[in-house]
Structure 1
Amino acid sequence: MINISNPKSSNAPQPKTAFLEFAFRPFFLFASLQSIIALLLWNGLLTGSFSLNLYGGSLWWHMHEMLFGFAAAVIVGFLLTAVQNWTGVRSLNGKGLLLLVCIWLAARVLFFFPDTVNHWVIALIDIAFLPLSAAALAYPIVKVKLWRNLMFIPILLIMSVCNALMHYSIASHNPILMNSASSSMVLLVTLVMTIMGGRVFPMFTANGTRTPRVDAIIWLEKLTVGSTILAVLTGSGFIELPALLTAVIFFTAAAAHTVRMLRWKIWVTLKTPLVWSLHLSYWCIAIGLFMYGLSEITTSVSHSQATHALTVGAMGTMILSMISRVSLGHTGRMIVVGKIMSGAFAALILAFIVRVFGSYWITNYSHVITLAVGLWVIGYGSFIALYFPILIKPRVN
């Protein structure tokens, strides 16, 4: 089970600053801020408000930074925090954590200096982040031989390969490779959300709503995870299958996720923002996979719409909800949010609706992007404003 409430005690020396005590503190804060900056710049570039000379070009940079900058940092922050609960071994902290954060930050900055810094230096610094994170995660898992959680190591390493391919697409001037690598990362993150959701959402729902916990059905869990893995393999573009067969795989995955979610009973969560936000984010997985299947066999839905259902709807909303919960639990606070964060979760859901479906009723595409970005800024800006003091200060107890 993934435990993300309170860390186990440790006799290991604690870092002098609370900010470097656990990985969730710097990575949740910096990733949220980075997502806001990246989207505001992307919106400005699209609307022609200004121009920037970015490593890889503006489209490459936008896709890369939301996936390998924002999402990857949150995943690493979560995993390197949770691993101490799994193993009882002190997770990365202090100077080691600071070094990892600096590597991540350096890559974000260097992307703005493609004419000053050698491209191979930029690529190597950026690519190094995920393998180093995987090594830091593997150490405590291997030390106590907790093999069931070892699966996250190959996932991080495969993400590293996708990142390397993204960089190679620049050197080889191959936009098809860029799209395949970014699609692979989107679907890999979806797989992580699928695994994590199955482990903790029923528990969160039961604890948050004081209702009986829904027990997992083994065949349904295997079908959900297995079909999602197949979706990763086929949707990446690296394996060529007939469009209809690819669509069937995605439809099957979407159906499995839908049945899974119906069993979790979203209707009992409506008074608990930290739970209904998770449920809605998970529904976006089913919607995104279904739309992905449709995009294979019809022109009524685009691949971009399906991708943004998974990124803005599922990824964006689930991350905001999870980092809000984890930050409270790991700093000794009550796991309850007020009206501001409830509004932030609602803003992310609205951002998903506008970004994915807004073009059906808003004729000016730039207005769709601007409105969706504005809603994202409200959501993650609220998190930064409320959680900055929480993330930099010691535990309350």
Structure 2
Amino acid sequence: MTHHNPALPHPLFRLGFRPLFLGAALFAALAIGAWGGLYAGLWGFSPYGGAYFWHAHEMLFGFVAAVVTGFLLTAVQNWTGIPGLKGRALAWLVMVWLAARLVNWWGPAWPNWLIATLDLLFLPMVAGFMAYPLCKAGQWRNLFFVPVLLLMSGANFLTHFGLLSGDNGFVKQGIYLMLMLVTALMCVIAGRVTPMFTANGTGTVKVQPVAWLEKAALLSIWLLVVHFLCREILPPLLAGGLCLVAAALHLWRWWRWRFWITFRVPLLWSLHLAYLFIPLGLGALAAHYLFNAMALSTAIHFLTVGAMGGMILAMMARVSLGHSGRPLKPRPLMSLAFALVLLAAMIRTLGSWLLHQHIVAVLLLASLLWCLAFVLFVLLYWPVLTRPRVDGKPG
């Protein structure tokens, strides 16, 4: 039995991943549950910016931003050897995030300037908390995460500016820019960790990267970031061609990581399958731009539900075990959660594309599966995230 040391902060505030993963997972289930019911007409509420704005904004700048933050604030301690954000400072950061979620939810109860200000505080704070240890330790390789966080802050600013000035073009620009920045971040992080995790987890030799393929695959994604940063600067034919090339490069990259050797290891197949949704999403975007064969929102949900939802669940499950001193063996029920979120992605995308006449039923089913996946994570990981490390180390 591990006892709480009164000299230390509560276990929940000993490292960034603990409160932010737990908060993000709870919010993921609540927000999609609320959205699914709202869409189906089961209940109503009046979030800031209206239902569609709220759904897009909160899933990216609320849910995804919290997980990215939890991951980066935990990783920066590993990279630099400097103790990570904890205790009161971490609690304040989480409070800012939570306050922004609450005022966005109850939009009419608050002045718009207050909602926008609270919401815009979080990511620049995170960028500052990241920059300090990285500069102090001279970790220039990882400093690139700071400008990415600041670009995400800029994307968030565009959504609020667009909403409050009545220019929907800025809202779209901010949402799609954030979408591509997160996709780029997933491609960078997955490229660093997937081959290593796969080798360690299966007892096989690590796949070595092919330099030109890595550079080309990442360049294609950063070009898409620029495309959306500049309000879809490329004409549809060029944008579609770029998406098609990016899809092919990322599919090749994914294939080289040997998904087929991971079937016995849930922490691996979940990560591999989530990454597969990146080339699928890029292919769907190509189909949208080149042939108008799929609605843009449908194509985008390959990236949001499949790639982001899937990779977030896989990485939260892994990081939470590793950084709490536990063996990398999740509870068997976690495999069900991984499967549910990937099934939700298939239903949300292919279901709404092929069965558009039943769109409400399709969205309700996808929402239900997503909520179940994240509720399972909360139930299984509550004891992991709210108790001290089992090996007695700090963090």
Residue 55, structure 1, aligned to residue 63, structure 2 = no
The answer for the alignment partner of 2:312 in structure 1 is 319
Structure 1 residues 359-368 or 169-178, which shifts more?
A: 359-368
> How is 1:1-397 mapped onto 2 (pairs within 5 angstroms)?
15-236=8-229, 238-359=231-352, 360-361=354-355, 363-397=357-391
2-side partners of 1:117 and 1:301: how far apart? Answer: 38
Give, in angstroms, the shift of residue 279 of structure 1. Answer: 0.5
1-side partners of 2:32 and 2:301: how far apart? Answer: 13
2-side partners of 1:105 and 1:213: how far apart? Answer: 40
1-side partners of 2:187 and 2:87: how far apart? Answer: 31
Give, in angstroms, the shift of residue 237 of structure 1. Answer: 5.6
Counterpart contact for 2:47–2:108, Cα < 8 Å: no
Structure 1 residues 44-53 or 378-387, which shifts more?
A: 44-53
Q: Runs of at least 4 residues of structure 1 off by over 4 A?
A: none
* Letter of the structure 2 residue corresponding to residue 369 of structure 1: L
1-side partners of 2:220 and 2:36: how far apart? Answer: 35
2-side partners of 1:292 and 1:237: how far apart? Answer: 17
2-side partners of 1:303 and 1:116: how far apart? Answer: 33
* Letter of the structure 1 residue corresponding to residue 257 of structure 2: W
* Letter of the structure 2 residue corresponding to residue 330 of structure 1: H
Which structure 1 segments of 5+ residues have no match?
1-12
Give, in angstroms, the shift of residue 301 of structure 1. Answer: 1.3
What's the CA shift string for 1:101-138, capped at 9, x where partnerless? 00000001112333332211111111010000000011
Per the alignment, in what secondary structure is the counterpart of residue 344 of structure 1?
A: helix
- Percent identical among aligned pairs is 44
2-side partners of 1:350 and 1:266: how far apart? Answer: 18
1-side partners of 2:8 and 2:239: how far apart? Answer: 49
What's the CA shift string for 1:324-355, capped at 9, x where partnerless? 00000000101012320011101011001100
The answer for the alignment partner of 1:5 in structure 2 is none
Counterpart contact for 1:45–1:51, Cα < 8 Å: yes
The answer for the alignment partner of 2:3 in structure 1 is none
Which structure 2 segments of 5+ residues have no match?
1-5
1-side partners of 2:283 and 2:144: how far apart? Answer: 26
Counterpart contact for 2:331–2:380, Cα < 8 Å: no
TM-score, normalisation: structure 2: 0.95
What's the CA shift string for 1:15-37, capped at 9, x where partnerless? 32111000000000000000111
Per the alignment, in what secondary structure is the counterpart of residue 250 of structure 1?
A: helix
Per the alignment, in what secondary structure is the counterpart of residue 105 of structure 2?
A: coil
Give, in angstroms, the shift of residue 316 of structure 1. Answer: 0.2
What's the CA shift string for 1:16-68, capped at 9, x where partnerless? 21110000000000000001111111111111112212111111100011000
- Computed over aligned residues only, the root mean square deviation of the Cα atoms, in angstroms, reads 1.3
Counterpart contact for 2:201–2:268, Cα < 8 Å: yes
* Letter of the structure 2 residue corresponding to residue 322 of structure 1: M
Counterpart contact for 2:241–2:290, Cα < 8 Å: no
Give, in angstroms, the shift of residue 175 of structure 1. Answer: 2.0
What is the total number of aligned residue pairs between the two structures? 385
- Change in Cα spacing, 1:110 to 1:274, as seen in structure 2 (3 Å) is same
TM-score, normalisation: structure 1: 0.95
Structure 1 residues 151-160 or 245-254, which shifts more?
A: 245-254
Counterpart contact for 1:29–1:388, Cα < 8 Å: yes
Per the alignment, in what secondary structure is the counterpart of residue 126 of structure 1?
A: helix
2-side partners of 1:115 and 1:258: how far apart? Answer: 45
What's the CA shift string for 1:238-293, capped at 9, x where partnerless? 24222111111111111110111111010001111100110001110000011111
Per the alignment, in what secondary structure is the counterpart of residue 311 of structure 2?
A: helix
Per the alignment, in what secondary structure is the counterpart of residue 240 of structure 1?
A: coil
2-side partners of 1:239 and 1:291: how far apart? Answer: 16
Per the alignment, in what secondary structure is the counterpart of residue 55 of structure 2?
A: helix
Counterpart contact for 2:76–2:134, Cα < 8 Å: yes
